[in-house]
């Protein structure tokens, strides 16, 4: 019969296809062998590995370019900064510098650089490295990308001796012990041609002098670090620290449940609830460093006085802003939207920064009072019309556009409440949710916006974004301003605190600024969301939180958590994995036997048919 010959080539193709499929299947099944048991991270080869689940991609591993939290966290671990923050109360403590003091005229700061910090290639870390780092940022635009604002007020930086660094300022600056700039080794980095393109991610280990040494990186897979045995404060206790990528939060939680990772952060309320009953897992519901607010557009303008944007005119009236403030039930926001994983907002700086935390006095406090809000609006000249709509000065009903982040479910949920609460006042609310809010925001084309910032131990930055000098120079420029607030009284206080070198006195002025911000009603801080995270107690015996009493672990100011983490005593995970291997082996065997059985059965049937 010629059928076979006629289709011979086709038969070969089909056989090849079948073989490829079978090979792939065999490969898949073959993997599931006792030779390759599921990895149990904490005890790999007897090594104590601390594995942290992360989701954010590294933008750059160059300290001159990195802006994302995950990248700057790596820099905190691998490079020393001049100073660090005390995990107890955030006050500045020695880092690469052991001492720092200002001159009498407040314009020169002298730092004593420690003589017991070495780069991981064995060379001594000196003041020359620090001076070179700052000077490079001052002179090279590419090197100023990430941290240029820290050197904006610097006049000159010199290193008269290996242990002495001198920074001369243009005007007094109280934040000189809060320079969050990684100091890099001059002898390595001076060979870089173009700082705007060098990502520091090709050659490992990376030379540093922090508690860890960066030994490996693969984009969106892992970042690996080994302890720096000669770190001046003492070496970390885990044998390895691995940041492993989990792009999906639920998968990260699953990895924690299984023990593949030791730590996960950024849990949703549902995930936290699911992990609460889990054995060997501790959920850390810590006061966060962020505030979550509703900001009003007070009329966008530039420093040269030109107005732009299209913010609603009614918001220029302080009484209207306060009425809106009054008609927001912050308790509901905390209870319903954050499901209890937040503190009710009041002042601008979250309570975890105790030095600067401020609360309104009883008489000053704006509480939830819709009736009083309606009254206040009436007094401001915004009555309701026959349809129950609030009418503006132009006789038209008032509707506010609220800019929200399309990817943030909290913005959307609070937005719905605003529609309800402000709707009762006769105000229309249009939620304008976008992936990219920065364009309308910078152009001042919004009425209100959901706003939030992470606050640093030194509050200078989050205060500076409400000063007049943060406005864009012209409408064409970009300002550092958050939402175009320009208030002379606030500015005066800002200048005072920046020139005040006495910490207690400075804190008093900062609190006055918060009070002023509260009264003007530009910013309604609704909540301080908690940092919700979890870790395995059978892998981590102890770990330092920040603040130490009840703080967070991931994204601290400093290297305390990972540097201090101590491994739990040997667990039974290796036994588990070998047991798992045996089970896998059995499953694989059954699959193969079933496959063989099916094959022979089919052959048998085929020959039977042939006989017929």
Does residue 502 interact with other proteins by CB under 8 A? no
Q: Considering only residues 587, 596, 598, 601, which one is a binding residue for other proteins as defined by CB under 8 A? A: 587
Q: Which is nearer to other proteins, 12 or 116 (CB)?
A: 12
Residue ranges in 515-534 that form contacts with other proteins under rule CB under 8 A: none
Dihedral sign of CA atoms 376, 377, 381, 384 in order: negative
- State how far the Cα of 232 lies from the Cα of 212, in Å rounded to an integer: 12
Q: What are phi and psi of 446, to 5 degrees?
A: -165, 165
DSSP string, 51-112: EEEE-SPP--S-TTT--SHHHHHHHHHHS--SEEE-TTT--EEESSEEEEEE-TTS-EEEEE
- Nearer to other proteins (CB atom), residue 306 or residue 548: 306
What is the H or E stretch that residue 240 is in? strand 240-245
Contact code string over 112-151 relative to other proteins, x by CB under 8 A: -----------------------------x------xx--
Helix axes 503-520, 488-499, angle to 10 degrees: 170
Asked if 340 touches other proteins (CB under 8 A), the answer is no
Segment near other proteins (CB under 8 A); pick from 3-11, 76-84, 124-132, 355-363: 3-11
Q: Six-digit token pair at 559?
A: 């290297």
Closer to other proteins by Cβ: residue 154 or 518:
154
Segment 453 to 472, residues that bind other proteins, using CB under 8 A: 470, 472
Q: Binders of other proteins among 383-422, rule CB under 8 A? A: 407
What's the closest the beta carbon of residue 551 comes to other proteins, in angstroms? 25
Residues 11-50 binding other proteins (CB under 8 A) are 11, 13-14, 17-18, 20-21, 24-25, 27-28, 30-32, 35-36, 38-39, 44
**Phi, psi dihedral angles at 392 (to 5 degrees):** -85, 180
Binding to other proteins (CB under 8 A) within 72-111 occurs at none
Residue 218, both tokens: 């693969």
Q: How far is the CB of 380 from other proteins (least distance, A)?
A: 33
Part in contact with other proteins (CB under 8 A); list of ranges 264-272, 363-371, 558-566, 603-611: 603-611
In contact, 331 and 487? CB cutoff 8 Å: no
In the window 214-273, what residues touch other proteins (CB under 8 A)? Answer: 216, 218-222, 224, 242, 244-248, 250-252, 254-255, 257-258, 260
| DSSP category for residue 337 | I
Least distance from other proteins to the Cβ atom of residue 239, Å: 11
Tokens of 444: 């001042």
Question: Residue 348 has what DSSP assignment?
Answer: S
**Which range of residues in 116-124, 435-443, 538-546, 591-599 is near other proteins by CB under 8 A?**
435-443
Where does this chain touch other proteins (CB under 8 A) — which range of 476-484, 496-504, 523-531, 557-565? 476-484
Q: Which of 380, 413, 442, 486 touches other proteins (CB under 8 A)? A: 442
Part in contact with other proteins (CB under 8 A); list of ranges 77-85, 279-287, 478-486, 513-521: 478-486
Q: Which stretch binds other proteins (CB under 8 A): 54-62, 93-101, 514-522, 523-531?
A: 54-62
Binding of residue 203 to other proteins (CB under 8 A): no
Burial label for 120, CB within 10 Å (0-12, 13-18, 19+), is buried
Please tell me whether residue 438 binds other proteins under the rule CB under 8 A: yes
Q: Least Å distance between CB 403 and other proteins?
A: 13
Q: Measure Cα distances from 235 to 113, 125, 563 in Å.
A: 20, 17, 8
Q: What phi and psi, each to the nearest 5 degrees, are found at residue 533?
A: -145, 170
Neighbouring residues of 385: CB distance < 8 A, sequence distance ≥ 6: 391, 397, 426
Angle at 403 between CA 398 and CA 406, to 5 degrees: 135
Binding to other proteins by CB under 8 A, coded x per residue (else -) over 146-185, reads: --xx------------------------------------
Per rule CB under 8 A, is residue 193 in the interface with other proteins?
A: no
Q: Could you tell me the CA-to-CA distances from 405 to 415, 448, 488, 574 in Å, in that order?
A: 11, 12, 31, 45
Distance, first Cα to last Cα, the chain: 18
Query: Is residue 279 near other proteins by the rule CB under 8 A?
Result: no
Residue from 439, 488, 502, 504 that binds other proteins (CB under 8 A)? 439
SS3 32: coil
């Amino acid at each position: 019969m010629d059928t076979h010959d006629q289709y011979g080539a086709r038969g070969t193709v089909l056989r090849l296809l079948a073989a490829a499929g079978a090979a792939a299947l065999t490969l898949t099944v073959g993997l599931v062998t006792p030779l390759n048991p599921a990895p149990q991270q904490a005890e790999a080869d007897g090594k104590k590995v601390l594995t942290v689940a992360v989701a954010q991609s590294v933008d750059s591993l160059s300290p001159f370019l990195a802006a994302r939290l995950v990248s700057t966290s790596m820099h905190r671990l691998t490079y020393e900064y001049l100073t660090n923050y005390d995990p107890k109360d955030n006050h500045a403590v020695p880092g690469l510098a052991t001492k720092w003091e200002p001159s009498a005229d407040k314009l020169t700061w002298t730092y004593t650089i420690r003589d017991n910090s070495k780069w991981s290639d064995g060379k001594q870390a000196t003041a020359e490295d620090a001076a070179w780092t700052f000077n490079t940022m001052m002179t090279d635009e590419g090197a100023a990308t990430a941290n240029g604002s820290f050197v904006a007020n610097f006049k000159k930086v010199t290193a008269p001796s290996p242990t002495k660094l001198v920074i001369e300022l243009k005007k007094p600056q109280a934040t000189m012990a809060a320079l969050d700039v990684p100091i890099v080794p001059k002898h390595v980095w001076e060979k870089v041609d173009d700082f705007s393109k060098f990502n520091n991610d090709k050659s490992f280990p990376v030379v540093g002098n922090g508690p860890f040494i960066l030994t490996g990186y693969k984009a969106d897979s892992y970042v690996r670090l080994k302890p720096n045995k000669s770190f001046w404060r003492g070496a970390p206790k885990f044998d390895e620290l691995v940041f492993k990528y989990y792009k999906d939060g639920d998968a990260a939680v699953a990895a924690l449940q299984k023990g593949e990772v030791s730590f996960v952060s950024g849990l949703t309320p549902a995930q936290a609830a699911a992990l609460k009953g889990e054995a060997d897992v501790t959920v850390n519901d810590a006061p966060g460093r962020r505030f979550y607010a509703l900001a009003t557009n007070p009329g966008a303008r530039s420093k040269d006085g030109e107005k732009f944007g299209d913010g609603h005119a009614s918001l220029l009236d302080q009484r209207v802003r306060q009425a809106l403030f009054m008609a927001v039930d912050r308790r509901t926001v905390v209870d319903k939207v954050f499901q209890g994983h937040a503190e009710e907002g009041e002042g601008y700086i979250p309570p975890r920064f105790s030095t600067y935390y401020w609360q309104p006095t009883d008489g000053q406090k704006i509480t939830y009072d819709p009736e009083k809000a309606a009254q206040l609006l009436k007094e401001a000249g915004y009555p309701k019309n026959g349809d129950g709509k609030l009418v503006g000065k132009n006789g038209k009903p008032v509707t506010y556009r609220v800019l929200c982040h399309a990817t943030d479910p909290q913005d959307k949920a609070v937005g719905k409440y605003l529609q309800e609460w402000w709707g009762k006042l006769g105000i229309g609310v249009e939620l304008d949710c976008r992936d990219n809010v920065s364009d309308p925001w910078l152009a001042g084309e919004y009425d209100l916006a959901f706003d939030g910032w992470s606050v640093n131990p030194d509050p200078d930055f989050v205060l500076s974004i409400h000063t007049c000098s943060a406005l864009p120079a012209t409408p064409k420029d970009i300002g550092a301003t958050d939402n175009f607030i320009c208030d002379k009284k606030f500015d005066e206080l800002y200048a005072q605190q920046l020139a005040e070198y006495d910490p207690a006195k400075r804190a008093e002025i900062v609190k006055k600024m918060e009070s002023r911000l509260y009264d003007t009603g530009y910013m309604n801080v609704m909540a301080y969301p908690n940092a919700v995270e979890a870790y395995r107690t059978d892998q981590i015996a102890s770990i330092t939180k920040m603040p130490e009493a009840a703080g967070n672990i991931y994204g601290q100011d400093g290297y305390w958590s990972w540097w201090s983490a101590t491994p739990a005593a040997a667990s039974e995970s290796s036994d588990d994995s070998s047991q798992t291997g045996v089970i896998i082996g059995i499953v694989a065997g059954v699959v193969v036997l079933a496959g063989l059985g099916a094959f022979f059965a089919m052959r048998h049937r085929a020959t039977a048919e042939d006989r017929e």
